[in-house]
Structure 1
Amino acid sequence: MPAKLSVNLNAIAMLRNRRDLPWPSVTGLGRIAMAAGASGLTVHPRPDQRHVRFSDLAPIRALLDDEFPGAEFNMEGFPDEGFLSLVEAAQPDQVTLVPDDPTQATSDHGWDFEASRSVLETVVSRLKKGGFRVSLFSDGDASEDGLRIAREVGADRIELYTGPYGGCYDDPSEAARIVEQLGRTADFAAGLGLDVNAGHDLTVDNLPALAARIPALAEVSIGHALTAEALEYGMAEAVKRFRKACGQAV
């Protein structure tokens, strides 16, 4: 089954936040994305609210509940108490834990699973008791021992950080090397019983090779490149282009 597409709304929110005005509408463009066949919506509410604001969370949850039942809401963030409280209020279907410093511009590395084991055990246990699916952000070359720890702390999935893959858009040989590394990591994770998501700098051009190498890829979360495509093609057409890149029938 082709990977599902979750549309990350952070870039849309960042554009809106340049003015003290309600447009572009985060929920409005989320609605268009869902109507065009996206499987869900993703947000990463950072503490400074420079992207999605805390006040966006309830309307996004309501949009999916009221108009697209069965679609998924994915919340990403560093698991401090503030983020966990937002999760418990918004009730997403999936929580993706990332090891971001609050001042980072964007996520740029996965968890050091061994060093963070104690923290992850506590947080994952809390989230699982709340009924949430938990995904852990992982480097594409994560060690086998690290992936075993991800499984042992109770994660359901990992999300492969694909930034380095996206960054070699002008180097086909390096892209091929990295996609094979991502594939090996996904293979090992799957063998442990972990489902595999992916995200960061995925495009309509580089996504097909990743999907071909990881045929069991469960979900891709895409914001920056999809928003850039939407500026050129419109949101609905951008979603269709990414769905096709995932291998979905459009």
Structure 2
Amino acid sequence: MKTSLSVNVNAIAYLRNRRSLPWPSVVGLSKLALQSGADGITIHPRPDERHIRRDDVFILERLLRQEFPDREYNIEGYPSDDFLDLVSRAKPDQVTFVPDLPDQSTSDHGWDLSGNADLLKAATERLKKQGIRVSFFIDEDPSIPELCKAAGADRIEIYTAPYGGAFERDQIDFHLRNLQNTGRAAANAGLEINAGHDLTLENLPALKNAIPQLAEVSIGHALISDALALGLPATVKAYQEALQSRG
């Protein structure tokens, strides 16, 4: 099964926002990533606009719809009323609900479904009526996918930072087993499987081997870091190749 590569461009927006200047261009580099073979673009517009700004959301929407209609637009965020209004206007292909607080620097855990099922179910129903696919950001726990399915999710995105931050062989294997079991539970529940966070050229092949039915990975930090040395087109190609190899 082919796994789609969605390039998260938040880091590009962070760099742009350090100055009152229009570069580096979020839309320009997103276009370059798509021209280089990326299957989609991911953004996470936060309330304080510290990286992706509201106007970026709609500029990128126009880019994808007008120039790359076959590619995916994925928007991540906490399902607040403001966020739901934003994505209802932008109409991305996929929305990924994350449980981030407004002041979090980055996502660092998945949803507690037992305490948030009603919130997620209501938000999911609203977006699915508009034809938007919904994914829930979850931890590597095989007990969670069935709860996601009950709340209406189409997909889950497994939080892979514990795996990405493991360097000892026993820890790597421990997290790979958890990821594999979570992927199997998701497939058994009838959910498609995404993954993201701290994924790299080095750890992608083993993840794909553990979850061969992986539909999509969303990668930002490592990919943009590699692009500083390799260039963005070569980096996108390298990540696509890593997704086709087996670790």
User: Which residue identity does 1:214 align to in structure 2?
Assistant: I
How far does residue 175 in structure 1 lie from its aligned partner after superposition?
A: 1.0
User: Which residue identity does 1:184 align to in structure 2?
Assistant: N
Instruction: Report the Cα distance in structure 1 between the residues aligned to 2:234 and 2:90, rounded to whole angstroms.
Output: 29
Report the counterpart of residue 199 of structure 2 in structure 1: 202
Report the counterpart of residue 158 of structure 1 in structure 2: 156
The runs of 4+ residues in structure 1 deviating greater than 2 Å are none
User: Which residue identity does 1:150 align to in structure 2?
Assistant: C
Q: How does 1:55-204 map to 2 (within 5 A)?
A: 55-141=55-141, 143-144=142-143, 146-168=144-166, 170-204=167-201
Instruction: Report the Cα distance in structure 2 between the residues aligned to 1:86 and 1:7, rounded to whole angstroms.
Output: 20
Instruction: Report the Cα distance in structure 1 between the residues aligned to 2:195 and 2:241, rounded to whole angstroms.
Output: 16
How far does residue 2 in structure 1 lie from its aligned partner after superposition?
A: 2.1
Report the counterpart of residue 10 of structure 1 in structure 2: 10
Report the counterpart of residue 36 of structure 2 in structure 1: 36
Contact kept, 8 Å, 1:113 with 1:147, in 2: the verdict is: no
Deviates more, 1:91-100 or 1:172-181: 172-181
- For the residue of structure 1 that corresponds to 2:95, the secondary structure is strand
Instruction: Report the Cα distance in structure 2 between the residues aligned to 1:42 and 1:101, rounded to whole angstroms.
Output: 19
User: Which residue identity does 2:29 align to in structure 1?
Assistant: L
Instruction: Report the Cα distance in structure 2 between the residues aligned to 1:118 and 1:154, rounded to whole angstroms.
Output: 10
- For the residue of structure 2 that corresponds to 1:218, the secondary structure is strand
Q: How does 1:19-34 map to 2 (within 5 A)?
A: 19-34=19-34
Report the counterpart of residue 233 of structure 2 in structure 1: 236
User: Which residue identity does 2:37 align to in structure 1?
Assistant: G
How far does residue 172 in structure 1 lie from its aligned partner after superposition?
A: 2.5
The C-alpha deviation readout for 1:75-110, integer Å capped at 9, x for no partner, is 000000111111011110000000000100000000
Instruction: Report the Cα distance in structure 2 between the residues aligned to 1:172 and 1:86, rounded to whole angstroms.
Output: 43
User: Which residue identity does 2:105 align to in structure 1?
Assistant: A
Contact kept, 8 Å, 1:74 with 1:96, in 2: the verdict is: yes
User: Which residue identity does 1:127 align to in structure 2?
Assistant: L
Question: TM-score by structure 1 length?
Answer: 0.96
How far does residue 147 in structure 1 lie from its aligned partner after superposition?
A: 2.0
Contact kept, 8 Å, 2:146 with 2:185, in 1: the verdict is: no
Contact kept, 8 Å, 1:3 with 1:217, in 2: the verdict is: yes
How far does residue 26 in structure 1 lie from its aligned partner after superposition?
A: 0.3
User: Which residue identity does 1:158 align to in structure 2?
Assistant: I
How far does residue 66 in structure 1 lie from its aligned partner after superposition?
A: 1.5
Contact kept, 8 Å, 1:3 with 1:219, in 2: the verdict is: yes
Instruction: Report the Cα distance in structure 1 between the residues aligned to 2:201 and 2:236, rounded to whole angstroms.
Output: 10
The C-alpha deviation readout for 1:102-154, integer Å capped at 9, x for no partner, is 1000000000011111111111111111111000000012x52x322210111
User: Which residue identity does 2:162 align to in structure 1?
Assistant: P
How far does residue 173 in structure 1 lie from its aligned partner after superposition?
A: 2.2
- For the residue of structure 2 that corresponds to 1:116, the secondary structure is helix
Instruction: Report the Cα distance in structure 2 between the residues aligned to 1:234 and 1:29, rounded to whole angstroms.
Output: 11
Instruction: Report the Cα distance in structure 2 between the residues aligned to 1:118 and 1:211, rounded to whole angstroms.
Output: 32
Identity of aligned residues (%): 52
Count of aligned residue pairs for this structure pair: 245
Contact kept, 8 Å, 2:134 with 2:154, in 1: the verdict is: yes
Which blocks of at least 5 consecutive residues in structure 2 are unaligned?
Answer: none
Instruction: Report the Cα distance in structure 1 between the residues aligned to 2:199 and 2:58, rounded to whole angstroms.
Output: 27
- For the residue of structure 1 that corresponds to 2:158, the secondary structure is strand
The C-alpha deviation readout for 1:28-48, integer Å capped at 9, x for no partner, is 110110011100000000000
Instruction: Report the Cα distance in structure 2 between the residues aligned to 1:243 and 1:85, rounded to whole angstroms.
Output: 33
